[in-house]
Amino acid sequence: MSIWSRIAAALQALSSGEGLAVVFERLRAPPERSVAFTIAVIALGAKMAKADGLVTRNEVAAFREVFTIPSAEEANAARVFNMARTDVAGFDYYARQIQRMFATDTDMLEYLLECLFHVAVADGTYHPAEDDFLCQVSRIFKLDDRAFRAIRTRFVPDAPPDPYDVLEVAPEDDIETIRAAWRARVRDSHPDRAIARGLPEEAIKMAEKRLIAVNRAWEEISRNRAA
């Protein structure tokens, strides 16, 4: 049974008045990453859509780039999205549940934040309310400010990247320390690693973007150190 079929079955089993949070609870015990991850992306994306008050076609298209939705399952995906927008549970509920599920998997949490950024900037603007929303989600995920800034610079055009933030090193670190950090980030950002660790196949798009940023940061630092 596909992810969408399992979500649809759970939706059909809802009693009157129950919300999406009930579906989430049922599908996370025992935790099944792909199912819970899909619900989390939809739920947080829907809550973020409420932050700037508008859902555009570009944002919908961007979501499709994060998850491939079979045409036969579009109605189920739309139902989850609409339930999340009106669900009494706030965005912090979903963010905290996901943080608990992936507390020891920072890569998964960073990837989810990347997905949300990808959708947020799809309409060509980055609304202050979206920035506040994503900042709060990042803190609930317990990602540090440097990690948040590194992700934001990859998606927001007017946020110039700091290469040291991208590699999560300090300007005073020696070149060998920075080189080691770069190599570790390259390894962690490799698309094959994302697939092997159970992320959706669409994660490769985000992994490729991260890998490009990591290599550019190293090139800039090494070039400046050699000057």
Quick one: pLDDT at residue 90? 82
Domains of the chain plus CATH, in order, are 3-160 (1.10.3680), 162-227 (1.10.287.110)
Predicted TM-score (pTM) of the model is 0.72
Give every CB contact of residue 167 below 8 A, 6+ residues apart in sequence: 178, 181, 182, 185, 214, 217, 218, 221
Q: What is the dihedral of CA 201, 202, 206, 212, to 10 degrees?
A: 70
- Which regions in the chain score pLDDT beneath 50? 31
How far is 84 from 213, CA to CA, in rounded Å? Answer: 32
Give every CB contact of residue 80 below 8 A, 6+ residues apart in sequence: 7, 11, 20, 23, 39, 42, 43
How far is 107 from 216, CA to CA, in rounded Å? Answer: 20
Contact yes or no for 189/211 (Cβ under 8 A): yes
pLDDT tens per residue across span 147-205:
898 888 888 877 677 888 888 888 999 999 999 999 998 888 777 776 666 565 656 67
Quick one: pLDDT at residue 121? 83
How far is 95 from 137, CA to CA, in rounded Å? Answer: 6
